Amino acid sequence: MPDHHDLEGLEIYKLGKKVHEAIHGKIVPIDLDPVAQRGTAASFAFAMSFNREPEPLEVLHFSDLVARHMEDVDGMRVFVDTWKHRVPNLPWPFRVKENMLLCRRRPRRAGKEPDWEEDYRTAENDWWQIESDALGERAGSDPPEGYRPSLSSVEFVGVVVGRHRCGAGNTVTGTS
């Protein structure tokens, strides 16, 4: 499976890096980025959906995450097709199937075909982190088996002790 060392020397990588920096600027290390320092799962998700940090009283809905993830999956189709044409000698580590993003995993045995599994970055996985924070719970790395969101939204209260904070918005069955 290719990694960044396999890609950095390719002309298409260098061009992509130049275009990315022209649009977004140079990458700032996370420990030097004030936006990252005050960020939380909820504020990062809000920024990905609305291209800005949240303000107090603004709301992030679970449906916002679902829509963004669908856009990400649709966008990945473009990368898959471009990769096949521009870097055909390296296997692409993702596949899109029925609106799911699949990740290529190393085969369990040498000489076997790779395994494909759904990418962990799903709307539900992201919402688990956001919902846990809003409810004042510790999330852990993975949602429990069979997790279904109990909140349909969270409301931002502002930056508290240097971090964006949010609280429970609407529950799935009504208002909290």
Q: Which residue has the higher pLDDT, 96 or 135?
A: 135
Dist. CA 114–CA 116, nearest whole Å: 7
Residue labelled with tokens 């799962």: 41
Is residue 175 very low, low, confident or very high in pLDDT (cuts 50, 70, 90)? very low
The residues near 170 (Cβ < 8 Å, ≥ 6 apart) are 151, 152, 153, 176
pLDDT per residue over 41-91, tens digit each?
999 999 999 999 999 999 999 999 999 888 888 888 888 888 888 888 877
Dist. CA 12–CA 67, nearest whole Å: 30
Cβ atoms of residues 8 and 130 within 8 Å: no
Cβ atoms of residues 42 and 127 within 8 Å: no
* Domain boundaries, given as residue ranges, for the chain: 4-168
Rg, Å, the chain Cα set: 19
Cβ atoms of residues 137 and 150 within 8 Å: no
Q: Cα 15 to the chain's mean position, in Å?
A: 24
What is the pLDDT averaged over residues 13-33?
Answer: 86
